[in-house]
Amino acid sequence: MIAVLVDSGSLIPETTQLLPHNEIQHLKVRRVTIDTPLLLLDGHGARADGYWKGGGEVRVRAVTQVPRPAALTLAVGAGDRDRFGWLAEKAAELGVSDVIPLETERTAGVSTRIRAGNVERLQRRALEAIKQSHAVWAPVVHLPHTLPEVLARHVGGIRWLADLNAEPPRLDGPAPDLVIVGPEGGMTAAERQMLLHSGVLPVRLGHHVLRFETAAMAAAAIAFHLREAGHNV
């Protein structure tokens, strides 16, 4: 079934509404015909069955509001905009709740690092990804944060630091609600010490050095497994 995005809070059962312009264009490209069934998603937990009426309009049928899943935040070194965009898309597919571009010592001088002005486009890529995956919730892409700001947002709970020199996470342990991934070159010694002193648990996510986007997706997949197995916080 073809999925389209609608504005948050706009889905009302048994109503007709006009789709956003870019979604109308999407359906025209797909050459949909009158009465084609559609899946309507707002990225904030609402989904509905509907059908194309033409003229940019859809008819909304039954609407379901799905509770927000258990939170999983990925705070990831924001040193490359293109690869971070890929990460935002895959985070949507894997059910990540929040993505935070992380400012570190090794991203400060990188010309391609994520800046505040890039966040809107990243959020859009996360939303677009749910059309393919049919996820009901899109992750929230936040403004860039420093390490102290991330730690202040997440006091306590299960917090992981991706670390090649650590032990792998226990597959019978609790799922994390925060995973911190460093940039290319990793965290500095001072940053790592700050995290360890704050109670963040270092975990190894693979046998080899992983790119930041690979490490983040590995952590998200492990967290999903732990939650499905009932090992939640």
Mean of the per-residue pLDDT values of the chain:
94
DSSP classification of residue 116 = G
pLDDT category at 171 given cuts 50, 70, 90 is: confident
Q: In which domain, by residue range, is 56 found?
A: 2-65
Instruction: List the alpha helices (DSSP H) in 134-208.
Output: 147-153, 189-197
Can you say whether residue 72 is alpha, beta or left, with left for phi > 0 and alpha for psi between -120 and 50 degrees? beta
User: What is the pLDDT averaged over residues 112-137?
Assistant: 95
pLDDT category at 79 given cuts 50, 70, 90 is: confident
Task: Calculate the alpha carbon distances from 76 to 4, 142, 157, 207 in Å.
Answer: 29, 11, 18, 20
- Considering the domain architecture, whether residues 78 and 120 belong to the same structural domain is answered as yes
Is residue 232's pLDDT more than 70? no
- Considering the domain architecture, whether residues 130 and 216 belong to the same structural domain is answered as yes
User: What is the pLDDT averaged over residues 13-27?
Assistant: 95
Instruction: Give the chain's domain count.
Output: 2
pLDDT in tens, 132-155: 999 999 999 999 999 999 999 999
- Considering the domain architecture, whether residues 38 and 145 belong to the same structural domain is answered as no
pLDDT of the residue at 233: 46
**CA 94 to CA 232: how far, in whole Å?**
16
- Considering the domain architecture, whether residues 61 and 81 belong to the same structural domain is answered as no
User: What is the pLDDT averaged over residues 125-138?
Assistant: 96
Q: Would you say 219 and 205 are in contact if contact means Cβ atoms under 8 Å apart?
A: yes
pLDDT of the residue at 144: 96
